[in-house]
């Protein structure tokens, strides 16, 4: 049986220690500031926030292109000539990255692609589910692996609260009127992945300490998340006090493991500083 190599995009925000530990190959997406193209994962997130402070503009982002995927898959095939590549991709409903990967894979042998219909921690949750399957059964047939992963994709749940409305307004995602009303009332929209699409599902009122706890409790009431693992996503600026409180709640709710994931440059370009999110997979 050929060795299976898992791959994904930087938009998964997969922590580096996990990618190294499990030999998961990550291809970078792009962040563009002042006309200069930066590779996601190679740009300090703080520079994005500094750019916004100077210009009141947010960077634009771009998908991994077809040529980059071709080179990415080629490099893996060179390093692991007798392997099977399984690519777990960023949602096709919010980026052309997955379609570009499909095009690049047309001339590649022994490669399978899955649209995870998720981003950041939700995508990481799907990838780590694949890791767990392979650890349990290293010789698993890749087609069987795909079937198992695809069955879990609809059960991967992500909910995220931007730290402020400033980045949403700068990116044209809320009107000035909605921004002013939301800022005055301290309203924070909850963004969820619904069938692969980013959708504002609820609105929370109050400071982040209050709404982060409310989001977690609502999330756990709505979804029957596997208690073996839960992921928390944060962008720079979220207080340690909030993290401690969230960890405490997760422990009391019976979660065996929790992992904090820092939002990378691409995700932070849309969410801004001080954001909080939750991801997990339903049983």
pLDDT at 44 over 70: yes
Average pLDDT over residues 8-13: 98
* Whether the predicted pLDDT of 152 surpasses 90: yes
Tokens standing for 42? Answer: 């190679």
Mean pLDDT of 14-37: 97
List the structure tokens of 65. Answer: 């292109």
Mean pLDDT of the chain: 92
pTM above 0.85, yes or no: yes
The domains of the chain are located at 3-31+62-151, 156-281
Which one has a higher pLDDT value, 171 or 192? 192
Q: What is the share, in percent, of the chain residues with pLDDT greater than 90?
A: 80
How is domain 156-281 classified at the CATH fold level? Hypothetical Protein Tm841; Chain: A;domain 3 (3.30.1180)
| pLDDT level of residue 174 (50, 70, 90 thresholds) | very low
- What's residue 178's pLDDT? 41
What is residue 187's predicted lDDT score, i.e. its pLDDT?
A: 77
Q: What confidence score (pLDDT) does residue 170 get?
A: 55
- For the chain, first and last CA: distance in Å? 29
Question: How does pLDDT run across 206-243, given as a tens digit for each residue?
Answer: 899 999 999 999 999 999 999 999 999 999 999 999 99
**55-69: per-residue pLDDT in tens?**
988 899 999 999 999
**127: Cα separation from own chain's centroid:** 10
pLDDT for 181: 43
> Any idea which architecture 3-31+62-151 has in CATH?
3-Layer(aba) Sandwich (3.40)
Mean pLDDT over 41-64 rounds to: 93
CA 233 to the chain's CA centroid: 8
The yes-or-no verdict on residue 80 having pLDDT over 80 is yes
Q: Is the dihedral of CA 239, 241, 245, 251 positive or negative?
A: positive
The three-state secondary structure class of 164 is coil
Q: What is the pLDDT of residue 200?
A: 84
pLDDT band at 163 (very low <50, low <70, confident <90, very high): confident
Q: pLDDT digit string (tens) for 104-142? A: 999 899 999 999 999 999 999 999 999 999 999 999 999
Burial of 62 (0-12, 13-18, 19+ CB in 10 A): middle
């Amino acid at each position: 049986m050929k060795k299976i190599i898992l791959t994904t995009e930087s938009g998964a925000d997969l922590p580096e220690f996990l990618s190294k530990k499990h030999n998961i190959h990550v291809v970078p997406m792009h962040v563009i500031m002042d006309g200069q193209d930066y590779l996601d994962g190679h740009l300090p997130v703080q520079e994005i926030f500094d750019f916004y402070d100077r210009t009141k503009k947010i960077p634009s982002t771009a998908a991994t292109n077809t040529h980059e995927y071709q080179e990415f898959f080629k490099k893996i095939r060179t390093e692991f000539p007798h392997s099977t590549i399984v690519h777990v991709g960023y949602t096709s409903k919010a980026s052309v990255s997955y379609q570009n990967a499909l095009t690049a894979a047309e001339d590649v042998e022994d490669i399978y692609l899955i649209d995870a219909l998720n981003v950041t921690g939700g995508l990481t949750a799907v990838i780590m589910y694949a890791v767990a399957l392979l650890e349990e059964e290293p010789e698993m047939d890749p087609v069987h692996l795909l079937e198992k992963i695809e069955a879990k994709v609809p059960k991967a749940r992500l909910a995220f609260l931007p730290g402020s409305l400033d980045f949403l307004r700068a990116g044209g995602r809320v009107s000035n009127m909605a921004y002013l009303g939301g800022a005055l009332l301290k309203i924070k929209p909850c963004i969820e992945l619904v069938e692969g699409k980013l959708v504002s599902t609820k609105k929370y009122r109050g400071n982040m300490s209050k709404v982060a706890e409310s989001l977690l409790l609502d999330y756990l009431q709505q979804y029957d998340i596997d208690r073996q693992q839960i992921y928390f996503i944060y962008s720079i600026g979220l207080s340690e006090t909030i993290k401690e409180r969230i960890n405490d709640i997760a422990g009391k709710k019976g979660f065996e493991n929790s992992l904090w994931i820092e939002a990378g440059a691409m995700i932070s370009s849309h969410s801004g500083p001080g954001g909080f999110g939750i991801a997990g997979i339903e049983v």
